[in-house]
Amino acid sequence: MVKKTLFELNSIYRDNLRITGYKFGNGEPSVCIVGALRGNEVQQVYICSQLIRSLKIIESHGKIEKGKAIMVIPSVNTYSMNISKRFWPTDNTDINRMFPGYNLGETTQRIASGLFEAIKEYKCGIQFASFYIPGKFIPHVRMMKTSFEDVEDAKKFGLPYVMLRTPRPYDTTTLNYNWQVFGTNAFSVYTHETDNIDIPSAMQAVNSVLNFMSLNKIIDHPVVGLNESVVIDDKDIITVKSKTAGIFSATADVNQHVLRGTTLAEILDPYTGETKSRIKSPAEGTVFFRHNAPLTYANAVMFRILPDKSNRSITTP
Amino acid sequence: MVETIVSVGLPIDENLEIKKNRITPLKPLTGNEKRISIVTGIHGDELEGQYVCYELQRRINDNIDALAGIVDIYPALNPLGIDSISRGIPAFDLDMNRIFPGNENGSMAEFTASKIINDIKGSDLCIDIHASNIFLKELPQVRINELTKDALVPMAKKLNVDYIWIHSSATVLESTLAYSLNSVNTPTLVVEMGVGMRITKEYGNQLVDGILCNMKELGIWTGETCIPKEPIISTDGKVSFINAGASGIFVPDIQHCSYVEKGKCVGNILNPLTGNIEEVITAPEDGLVFTLREYPVVSEGSLIARILKTETKDEA
């Protein structure tokens, strides 16, 4: 393992910002794994730390294939992480809206550019992503439909689902999108948590990345916990919103199969504790996402339901 | 008449309400009146538009007989942001000007954006007033996507601004209010002027003069108006950017809106810890400094100034 500083930004009063990478093996840039791009992505850093632990052992046993190099970058936005902010401390810009970056541009464009230059040659790119709404997902791999995506490769993670998403205008400046456009086979891996550490789903993510590398003959490591991934389209997932604001009290959790009309949550009056409304499932299916903040707004996304197979546009696993 | 165009419940004993004030002529409406919408406050730290909304209404009310059309004023599209000095939508940390046209079935923010678009849609002209951010001071200007320049430049020329910047199309800008409204044939001009968290009364008065000129052109206003300034019109190729090459404290050596010659000192980046100058920033071109750094603390890459290249001062 070689620890490398991939990019460094000087600061007048803080320690320099360093993007640190851990490189395993030598040769063809095969897989690059990026953890936190935002300051609140603690779970993503943790997953990378566990992956680095595993890869150190694998490398020490000579189990990284000859001529293959792996890079793990646990955190990009350490400045925000150290002061409990999500976005860049001074101007609140999001590094994951700055790719491919510009080395003569603004600060976060330079950071994005510095990172992208260091990792764009990798054949595969994996990012541990987070959603803008606080909540919990069924662990899955997500790919943007850029016409460069490789769904069969995504199944090698062995996570329960592979989700395809049609990019929206704001997606075009993300790492995942630009990786794909510049020729890297890019995947985003979602787990249960973001701001807190959830060890079981973190370990599932670690194993999924090791599975992916084993099945692509980059490491020689046993494949464990391999699910036969179901391929789904983001547009098939039904969004369920709250009609009222108040205290959110969930009665259903992710991965739970629900019938049409099943109560998923209650919204309580914050002063009297009375039930203001009940959120019911609009279809028979599996809870794919669940909001997890204690308070909710009206019209906020509370759940996302994956309908049973017969109601999806992609019906083959 | 003040109307609530969208109301969304907040968790504890409060509603998020976005309001507009509709000002109509004293005479009964015929249904054929033209409509102008004045919109501001998408970014909670941009306040220049607040004075414009007030001053425009003051002038209309002082001469209400001259009003011949409908004026809709939306002073706070992001009321939670303005109240909490947050640029984006608080709690979500979301840039509201990246979620348009919104979605009636989407999240709270997308739902709100969709209601805003539906309410403004159909206006004969919409003016979306921005105030840069807390870091940069801007000369009063209109920014126009090159895709819509043919329709919008004639209107922008009557807005009494100093500068019209026709910029290239970027996919990410497709999520803005202006792009979304222009896409549904509601002509929308984006004004940038002044600096975040402050009000520059002089710029506000200048823009109100221009809004009245456009209202007169549309047949909404019959009162006296000024002769609009002849703005400089340019494309991206004529704009030169200066970014900080070092971190430190930027102290300008020039005034905002002044002309500089190539090589002239724009300012210095200082290191108060060591007493050294980290970088002497010089102008890369002759031209007009239409953007200048206002906030002193800079990191490598921070934007210091934008210069509109000119061959001579007289030509500009």
Distance CA B6, CA A301 (A): 18
Torsion region of A45: left, alpha or beta (phi above 0 gives left; psi -120 to 50 gives alpha)? alpha
Contact B182, B144 (CB under 8 A): no
**Residue A118 token pair:** 């260091």
Contact B6, B115 (CB under 8 A): yes
Amino acid at B67: L
Interface predicted TM-score of the whole assembly (ipTM), two decimals = 0.82
pLDDT over 50 at B316, yes or no: no
DSSP collapsed to 3 states, chain A:
CEEEEEEEECCCCCCCEEEEEEEEECCEEEEEEEEECCCCCHHHHHHHHHHHHHHHHHHHCCCECCCEEEEEEEECCHHHHCCCCCCCCCCCCCHHHCCCCCCCCCHHHHHHHHHHHHHCCCCEEEEECCCCCCEEECCEEEEECCCCCCHHHHHHHCCCEEEEECCCHHHHHCHHHHHHHCCCEEEEEECCCCCCCCHHHHHHHHHHHHHHHHHCCCECCCCCCCCCCEEEEHHHCEEEECCCCEEEEECCCCCCEECCCCEEEEEECCCCCCEEEEEECCCCEEEEEEECCCEECCCCEEEEEEECHHHCCCCCC
Give the pLDDT confidence score for residue A27 in this predicted structure.
Answer: 96
Domain boundary among B177, B203, B230: B230
**Residue B104 and residue B251 in one domain:** no
**Residue B83 and residue B149 in one domain:** yes
**Residue A114 token pair:** 């510095």
Contact A55, A209 (CB under 8 A): no
Distance CA A60, CA B126 (A): 65
End-to-end CA distance of chain A, in Å? 37
Q: pLDDT confidence of B120, banded at 50, 70, 90?
A: very high
Between chains, do B16 and A91 touch, taking CB under 8 Å as contact? no
Give the pLDDT confidence score for residue B311 in this predicted structure.
Answer: 60
Domain boundary among B211, B230, B249: B230
Give the pLDDT confidence score for residue A317 in this predicted structure.
Answer: 39
**Residue B91 and residue B203 in one domain:** yes
CATH code: domain of residue B248: 2.40.50.100
Domain carrying residue B282 = 237-309
Low-confidence ranges of chain A (pLDDT < 50): 316-317
Contact A103, A110 (CB under 8 A): yes
User: For residue A2, which phi and psi values (nearest 5 degrees)?
Assistant: -120, 125
Higher local confidence (pLDDT), B172 or A60: A60
pLDDT over 80 at B312, yes or no: no
Q: Per-residue pLDDT averaged across B287-316, rounded? A: 86
Distance CA B52, CA B75 (A): 9
Number of domains in chain B: 2
CA distance A311 to chain B (A): 19
CA distance B208 to chain A (A): 30
CATH code: domain of residue B180: 3.40.630.10
Cα A136 → chain centroid: 11
**Residue B297 and residue B153 in one domain:** no
Q: Given 3.40.50.2300, 1.10.600.10, 3.40.50.150, 2.40.50.100, which CATH number is that of A237-311?
A: 2.40.50.100
Helix, strand or coil, per DSSP, at residue B49: helix
State the CATH architecture for A2-233: 3-Layer(aba) Sandwich (3.40)
What is the rounded average pLDDT for all residues in chain B? 94
Distance CA B190, CA A122 (A): 41
Q: Which of B46, B108, B180 to mutate to test the interface with A (most CBs of A within 10 A)?
A: B108
For residue B315, tell me if it sits in a domain: no
Give the pLDDT confidence score for residue B315 in this predicted structure.
Answer: 42
Residues of B in contact with A86 (CB under 8 A): 93
For residue B246, tell me if it sits in a domain: yes
DSSP characters over B166-192 = EE---GGGGGSHHHHHHHTT--EEEEE
> Among all residues of chain A, which has the CA nearest to that of B86?
A92
**Contact status of A13 with chain B (Cβ, < 8 Å):** yes
Residues of B in contact with A10 (CB under 8 A): 246-247, 300
In Å, how far are A87, A298, B63, B98, B193 from A97, measured between CA atoms? 11, 28, 47, 11, 25
Give the pLDDT confidence score for residue B314 in this predicted structure.
Answer: 44
Q: Quick one: DSSP state of residue B227?
A: P
Domain boundary among B230, B245, B265: B230
Give the pLDDT confidence score for residue A6 in this predicted structure.
Answer: 98
Give the pLDDT confidence score for residue A314 in this predicted structure.
Answer: 62
Between chains, do B248 and A168 touch, taking CB under 8 Å as contact? no
pLDDT tens digit sequence for B126-138: 999 999 999 999 9
Q: Is the dihedral of CA B91, B108, B46, A13 positive or negative?
A: positive
pLDDT tens digit sequence for B63-104: 999 999 999 999 999 999 999 999 999 887 889 999 999 988
Strand order across the beta sheet in which A295-296 lies: A275-280, A263-268, A246-250, A295-296
**Residue B46 and residue B150 in one domain:** yes
In Å, how far are A133, A237, A238 from A141, measured between CA atoms? 18, 15, 18
pLDDT tens digit sequence for B221-251: 999 999 999 999 998 778 999 999 999 999 9
